[in-house]
Amino acid sequence: MSLQEPEHIAVSKSKGIDIDWKDGLQSHFSLAYLRDNCPCAVCTGSHGTPPQKTDYQNPNPFQMFKPALKMLACEGVGNYAVKIEWNDGHSSGIFSFEYLRKLAMEGTSTVAGS
C-alpha cells in the first residue's frame, strides 16, 4: 500500500473526478481536462499515428456548434485505474491512478490542512 494511492474517489458525470489521496493531497479533474489528457494510443499517437488530441479546455469561439462534453460512464479497472466513456464516442482511455497522480502533481491540487 502506497501513500500515493487514492483513498476516496468521487465521480460526477457533469463536473469530473475528485480524488483524496492517502497522503492528504486532494485533486479535482474537470471533464475537459480529463478528455484533453486522455492517455489512450489514439489520443497520444502511440502507434506511430499523429496524436488525435482534443481541446475542450480552450474551445474555438468561431465554431458553429459543438455538443457539450459529457461523461456517459466511468468504471473501475481492477485496483489501478478508471475507464471513462464520453459522449463524443471516445471510450478507450484508461486513466491509471499513477497517471492521475502525475497529472495532479502538475496541476493545482491541494494538500489537506494546508
| Domain of residue 45, CATH code | 3.30.2020.30
Our count of domains for the chain comes to 1
Is residue 102 in a domain? Answer: yes
Is position 35 within any domain?
A: yes
What DSSP assignment string belongs to 9-31?
EEEETTTEEEEEETTSEEEEEEH
pTM (predicted TM-score): 0.84
Q: Which domain holds residue 80?
A: 6-55+68-111
Q: Which pLDDT belongs to residue 7?
A: 95
Q: Which pLDDT does position 1 carry in this prediction? A: 59
Query: Is 39 within a domain?
Result: yes
What is residue 83's predicted lDDT score, i.e. its pLDDT?
97
| 33/51 Cα distance (integer angstroms) | 16
pLDDT digits (tens, 9 = 90+) for 74-88: 999 999 999 999 999
Task: Show the low-confidence residues of the chain (pLDDT under 50).
Answer: 113-114
| Domain annotation covers residue 18 | yes
CA distances from 98 to 5, 18, 60 (A): 8, 15, 31
Domain-located, residue 61: no
